[in-house]
Structure 1
């Protein structure tokens, strides 16, 4: 598993797709596939959109469930995950927005621990942090 993180519209997807040029890539946006597509690499971006559809009150269960599903996808092909950094010290006023930010933080900790490689993308410039 390879994880790429950065701010919104900072060039994460462009960077990953350039890196994977020439490979058969399945790009999944905002959903979690129920099956592994036939490809060399699955790129999942915007997991935050999928999280919004879940019961964020049970974030530990969501994170565990998501990790299990991601590992199952990884059995068939390489897995690249692109996530948006939404912390940066700003605490949202709305409860659901806070729950989403907190759940993403817990998810990202687990993903970063499990990942073989973690890269931060900031305005198109990559910095490998793991």
Structure 2
């Protein structure tokens, strides 16, 4: 699993698509598929939009569900995740926005731990973190 993180509209998708341009890529946004499509590389982006549809009170269970699903998808193709940096030290005033930020933080920690590669994209410039 390869994870690419950065701020919104910082060039993450362009970077990933250039990286895998020689391979058959399928990109899925805003959802967590249960079945892998036929492809060389499956790119999942905007998991935070899928998280909004979940019960964020159960964030530990959500993290485990996501990890198990991703491990299953990895059996079929290379997996690349594009995730948006949600925090940067800003604490949202709205309770649901805080829960989303916290759940994303817990999920991203778990993803980074499992990932073979983690890259931060900041305004189109890649920085290898892992």
1:22 CA drift (Å): 1.8
How many residues matched? 130
Which runs of at least 4 in structure 1 moved beyond 3 Å after TM superposition?
A: none
Unaligned runs of 5+ in 1: none
1:114 CA drift (Å): 0.1
- Equivalent in the alignment of 2:111: 111
Distance 2:127 2:34 in 1: 31
Distance 2:56 2:111 in 1: 18
- Equivalent in the alignment of 1:82: 82
**Residue-by-residue CA offset, 1:82-130 (whole Å, 9 max, x unaligned):** 0000111100011100000000000000000000000000000000000
Unaligned runs of 5+ in 2: none
1:27-66 equivalences in 2 (<5 Å): 27-66=27-66
Distance 1:73 1:26 in 2: 13
Q: Cα RMSD (Å) of the superposition?
A: 0.4
Is 1:73 matched up with 2:73?
A: yes
